[in-house]
Every structure is written in structure tokens, then in C-alpha cells.
């Protein structure tokens, strides 16, 4: 069983890529998690975009102790609380309001609140948050934008997510203010639907090797 992460910085230390997983069926949660862990990616963000998401998080938390499962697409305080109650070990939001930031902090879980602008990052920095999600990464300026933030906001590190691929991920990971990247390419719906767990492990292994 892995050490429970206590901060966003701890999440960055897990692997260079954090899989961003959408699950339509909770029955797929455990085999997907095991496939990703086998490929070297223990940190797994299960997005709260489907009715199966909370059940999926609970199953992974209970049955795959070597995984560090978190809840993504957290947009309300109620979702943050519900995710914590089913065993999520971290929270990720696409954007962030002051109320949502407080709610995520109140769970006691590490979080990666989302930002897309300098002002948003500065607002969260004022609250003492230095580990953030940058979303949607490619649509919001990509690696060039994040590189430009290194000077004025050197204390902030990011997990850019949104439109990133295996090919573009190295451009982000080369930046000192990037802790990891979020990737949805690791669990494509056709592989999950076809129970092609070995193929998911192979994709995870490629991603895990991006920062050796």
C-alpha cells in the first residue's frame, strides 16, 4: 500500500503522468486501476462526469491499495465531500471559486484546484495553495504559457491537463514549474469497453517512462 499523499506536491511525485479516467461502468474500475498501476502510474484521477464515478472510486480505494485514487471534475462542495467519504485520496477541479477551494481544503485531502489565468493562480496563491491544475492546457496557451509563469510565480507548480498527448507531454514535463501532466489518452473508451487491460498497461508504461 502506498503512502497517503498529504499535499499537491506529493501527487506530483507519484509519476510524470496522472491518468484522467472517465468510467461509464463501475465494474471496469478495478481492472483499469490495476492495469495503470502495472504500467507504473499509481496516481489515478477518476472524473465525476458519470453516475458510476463515486462507486468506481470506492472500488479502487478498497480493492487496489497500491493505487492512489482521486476524484476529478469536482465542481461543488457536495461533490468534494462525497468523494472524500467513498475513499478518494485527492481532489481535482477544472476551475476554482473561493467556496470550492475552502470545501476541498475542509475535506483534509490534498487538491489540485484548476486555473487558466495568471489572476486565478494568484488568487489561489493568496490562500496558500501552490500546487494547481492548469486547464484546459492546450486551449489556454500550452507549454509556452506555463513557461512564461515561471518568472513571476516561481513558487507555483502545475499539473497541466486538457488536450495533452504522449507526443506533447515532454514539452510540459521539461518545465521546472510542471510537476506532472494529466492524460486522458491512457484509457480510451474502446480499450476499456473491450477489456483490453494489457493495452492500457502498455500505454501507461510508455507514459511512465517520460520522466526517468
Q: Which residues are catalytic?
A: 45, 133
Q: Cell 477489456 identifies what position? A: 195
Query: Residue 147 to residues 37, 115, 177: CA-CA distances in angstroms?
Result: 30, 15, 8
* Cα separation, 166 vs 27, whole angstroms: 27
Beta strands in the chain (DSSP E): 17-21, 43-47, 68-72, 91-92, 111-112, 114-115, 131-134, 157-160, 181-183
- Residue 174 φ/ψ, nearest 5 degrees: -75, -15
**Sign (positive/negative) of CA torsion 17, 159, 83, 23?**
negative
Amino acid at each position: 500500500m502506498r503512502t497517503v499523499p498529504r499535499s499537491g506536491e506529493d501527487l506530483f511525485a507519484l509519476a510524470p503522468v496522472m491518468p484522467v479516467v472517465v468510467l461509464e461502468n463501475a465494474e471496469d474500475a478495478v481492472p483499469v486501476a490495476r492495469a495503470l498501476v502495472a504500467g507504473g502510474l499509481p496516481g489515478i484521477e477518476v472524473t465525476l462526469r458519470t453516475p458510476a464515478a463515486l462507486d468506481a472510486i470506492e472500488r479502487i480505494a478498497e480493492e487496489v491499495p497500491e493505487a492512489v485514487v482521486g476524484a476529478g471534475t469536482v465542481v461543488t462542495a457536495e461533490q468534494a465531500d462525497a468523494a472524500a467519504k467513498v475513499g478518494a485520496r485527492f481532489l481535482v477541479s477544472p476551475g476554482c471559486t473561493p467556496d470550492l477551494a475552502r470545501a476541498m481544503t475542509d475535506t483534509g485531502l490534498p487538491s489540485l484546484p484548476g486555473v487558466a489565468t495568471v489572476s486565478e493562480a494568484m488568487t489561489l496563491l493568496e490562500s496558500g495553495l501552490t500546487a494547481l491544475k492548469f486547464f484546459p492546457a492546450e486551449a489556454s496557451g500550452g507549454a509556452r504559457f506555463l513557461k512564461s509563469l515561471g518568472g513571476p510565480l516561481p513558487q507555483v507548480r502545475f499539473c497541466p491537463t486538457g488536450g495533452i498527448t504522449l507526443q506533447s507531454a515532454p514539452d510540459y514535463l521539461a518545465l521546472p514549474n510542471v510537476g506532472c501532466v494529466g492524460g486522458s489518452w491512457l484509457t480510451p473508451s474502446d480499450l476499456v469497453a473491450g477489456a483490453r487491460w494489457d493495452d492500457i498497461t502498455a500505454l501507461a508504461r510508455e507514459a511512465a517512462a517520460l520522466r526517468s
